[in-house]
Structure formats: structure tokens, C-alpha cells
Amino acid sequence: MIVLKERNADSRQRKAFAFKNLMLFANLRDEDVVLFADASQINNYKKGKFLYLEEEPADSFYVICSGWLKLFHTTEEGEEVNLAVLTANSITGENAIFEHGSYTSSAQIVEDAQILSVPISLLKEQLRVNNRMAFNMLTCMVQYQRLHALQQEQYFLYSAPQRVGCFLLGLCPTVEQKDGIILNLPYDKTLIASILGMKGATFSRALNILREEAGLHINGTRVTIDSIASLFKFVGSCYPHNHQLRKDFISI
């Protein structure tokens, strides 16, 4: 019985830590975070699994602990339009509370993932009674709109290597961590390329240019960034230097 209690306490602590890494839960009281941790379930998903489908009634939102998933729309002709790829310390599905209770895109696992599922009814209730969380949600939405506008600007004004550099900066944990950051990208790099508006071959060439110009080390799906400052210098003004790098997007 004591061992079981210790395991439960450890599980609660790990889940609470996952929530605290999200902007939506920034500066909340510990008891507020624990409320979500206790209500959540952690599940392992294999590559190819659908987390949810577009227009499906939403009963949960999700926090990614590890792995990768993609968000996409399906056109009337049956074509997939990729919207985003998300990895650890990201959140998805939460905006269904503003969309008549339905998911606004589909989500599919693209690399084996560990994900927390949380009742969306709890989020809706806490947004009603918790002013700090409501403010955080508004901040997330404003930042998403800002970053979406920035992405559109990048498509027209910046080179493929700069766009890839901005994407990699967005995956970095914090702006203070300057040296030796290691990122593990999905095996299917063409997926990231499509999100960034380029062909797979263009994405590979862009990585090679970043290797030469910004000191990146690339080994398969593993990317090591020796210096955040060097990458910032290369991408220039296409990425706001004062922006907190690790972000959780409000899903499209």
C-alpha cells in the first residue's frame, strides 16, 4: 500500500510538472495545477494513431509530454492540409471550448508519443472561476495570432534557411539556454517542410546551410545547436529576440 501511494504521488508530481511548463498554467497556485494533474490520464500512443478528428465532439484536451503529432484539415476533395507539428510541452484541443465543443482540426501521432488527456469540462469551469487562467488563455491566443502573422510574413520575406532557423528556435526550451541544445525532429522531415511552405529537398538544403552558417550539427533526426545567439544572428529580424522560445500554441 505504501509503494502504491508513493507511485501515485510520483505520477501526480510528473503530471503537475508537465502542466507547469505550459503558458496556460503559468503562475497558477499549486493547488490549481494539482486539480488538473489529478483529473488527467497519461497514455502512450504509437505512430499513426489519431488523437482526435476534425468536427468530432471534444471531451478532452491534450498535453504532449514526449513525441510528435501533426494537426491538419481535410478538404472536401479529401486532401490533407498540414497546419502544425507539435512536440513536448505543447497543448492541443483546448480551443474546442470556443468552437461549439468540437475540434477544429484533426490530430495524428507522427512519432510515438506520451500524452496527458484532460477533461475539457474542467478547463471550461476553471476559466470561469479562475481569473489568472482566463488571463493566461487570452495571452496564449494573442501570442498565437502574433506568431501566425509572423509566419505569414516569413513565407514572403525570408529565405528557407531563415524559416527553418525560426522553427528550430521555437523548439528550444528557454532563451537563457544558449549552448548545446539538442532537438530530436520527426523522422519524416517532409512533414516539417510542408508546415514551413517548402519541399522536402529544400528543407534538407536549408539544414545544410544552417550547418555551415549557424554552427548546427545534424545527425539523422538529431539537431544540436551550439549557440542560440549564432542562430538568432543568422535568422535576423524574422524572430523576435525578446520572445520566450518555448511556447504552447493555441491549436488552429
User: Is residue 132 scored above 60 in pLDDT?
Assistant: yes
Name which of 95-104, 129-138, 200-209, 227-236 the model is least confident about.
Answer: 227-236
Rounded to an integer, what distance in angstroms lies between the CA atom of residue 120 and that of residue 206? Answer: 39
Name which of 5-14, 53-62, 97-106, 155-164 the model is least confident about.
Answer: 5-14
User: According to the model, what pLDDT value does residue 173 have?
Assistant: 66
The domain made up of 2-148 has a fold known as Jelly Rolls (2.60.120)
Mean pLDDT over the full length of the chain: 85
User: Is residue 199 scored above 70 in pLDDT?
Assistant: yes
User: Is residue 238 scored above 70 in pLDDT?
Assistant: no
User: According to the model, what pLDDT value does residue 177 have?
Assistant: 54
User: According to the model, what pLDDT value does residue 239 have?
Assistant: 56
pLDDT tens, 43-95? 999 999 999 999 999 999 999 999 999 999 998 888 889 988 999 989 999 99
Total-model pTM? 0.83
Angle at 230 between CA 176 and CA 207, to 5 degrees: 115
CATH of domain 156-238: 1.10.10.10
Comparing CA positions, the residue from 154, 221, 236, 141 lying closest to residue 185 is 221
Pairing of strands 222-225, 181-184: antiparallel
User: According to the model, what pLDDT value does residue 21 have?
Assistant: 85
- What ranges do the domains of the chain cover? 2-148, 156-238
For residues 27-46, give the mean pLDDT: 94
DSSP string, the chain: -HHHHHHHHHHHHHHHHHHHTSGGGTT--HHHHHHHHHH-EEEEE-TT-EEE-TTPBP-EEEEEEEEEEEEEEE-TTS-EEEEEEE-SSEEESGGGGGTTTB-SSEEEEEEEEEEEEEEHHHHHHHHHH-HHHHHHHHHHHHHHHHHHHHHHHHHHHS-HHHHHHHHHHHHSS-TT--S-EEEE--S-HHHHHHHTTS-HHHHHHHHHHHHHHS-EEEETTEEEES-HHHHHHHHGGGS-TTS-S---PPP-
Name the residue type at position 207.
Answer: L
For residues 176-202, give the mean pLDDT: 84
pLDDT tens, 135-163? 999 998 888 778 777 777 766 778 899 98
Return the percentage of the chain with pLDDT > 90, whole number. 48
Q: Are 115 and 87 in contact (CB under 8 A)?
A: no
Comparing CA positions, the residue from 33, 32, 39 lying closest to residue 61 is 39
Neighbour count for residue 223 (Cβ, 10 Å)? 20
User: According to the model, what pLDDT value does residue 240 have?
Assistant: 52
Comparing CA positions, the residue from 102, 104, 180 lying closest to residue 144 is 104
